[in-house]
Copies of this chain bind each other. A is one copy, B any other.
């Protein structure tokens, strides 16, 4: 049997029901802290701010990590309140390996690791950026990110098909361009993998202008590739777009969807 304290702590940490004020306050507090942390990681890279507010950033980091550490330990301790992880020790170990628990752990590790092992400066800098993973802690609370997740899941087969076709097109386009331009522009088209940078930049219509064909053959090929390829590279956008529209429509209408086929499960209608 679970202690009342543990059950209450579990309730507070999990997504709040609308009428549990304490739980909602804790949720809001953690969300605000996450957002502030991300803002902090971003601003810390501005040299002038980093120099001026070094102490402030340090204090914020210690405070955040303390809160997130306590949160992590409490979540671990109370995980047995969840029926899925109810067995005393093995349940908690099982919980510790769920994606969200791992995110929670990785989000605080960059703080503790340099205390245990010595790391060089470059690794340390990468580690500081890893604090951005705290963003994914938001996934517990943010409907937007859950929507994005379910759209990606829902449309995964379409995205897989188009990604495969895009990859083939990219290989063909880059190979043709490599063949046409390699002799003249060895720097810009050094190899087929190198020419793929041109391929991506062109087919996504970004077009920085750092590499572009200069030979007549290259320009003709480039023109044809652009005309035909851009339609294909716009497909993922279209797929995601209609997926989002459908998902938001669903949520608005409060439909229940079958978890297996993604179709709407109509409640038996009175006319039937």
Chain A positions near chain B (C-beta within 8 angstroms): 38, 41-43, 45-47, 125-126, 129, 132, 135, 138, 142-145, 147-148, 157-158, 160-166, 168, 171-172, 175, 178-179, 182, 190-194, 196-197, 200-202, 204-210, 212, 219, 222-223, 226-228, 230-242, 244-245, 248
Contacts and interface: CB of A to CB of B under 8 A. Distances in A.
Contacts of A219: 197
Copies of this polypeptide in the complex = 4
A193 B227 CA distance: 16
A36 to B, nearest CB: 13
Name A's interface SS.
helix
A135 B11 CA distance: 53
Given A172-B135, A248-B157, A41 B125 contact: no
A231 B223 contact: no
A237 B143 CA distance: 21
A200 B125 CA distance: 24
30 contacts: A45-B178, A45-B182, A46-B192, A46-B194, A129-B178, A142-B164, A144-B162, A144-B164, A145-B165, A147-B165, A158-B245, A161-B244, A163-B227, A166-B227, A204-B205, A205-B206, A206-B226, A208-B208, A208-B209, A209-B210, A227-B233, A230-B237, A231-B237, A231-B240, A234-B234, A234-B238, A234-B241, A235-B240, A237-B238, A238-B238
B42 A171 contact: yes
A135 B171 contact: yes
Given A135-B171, A191-B46, A235-B241, A212 B208 contact: yes
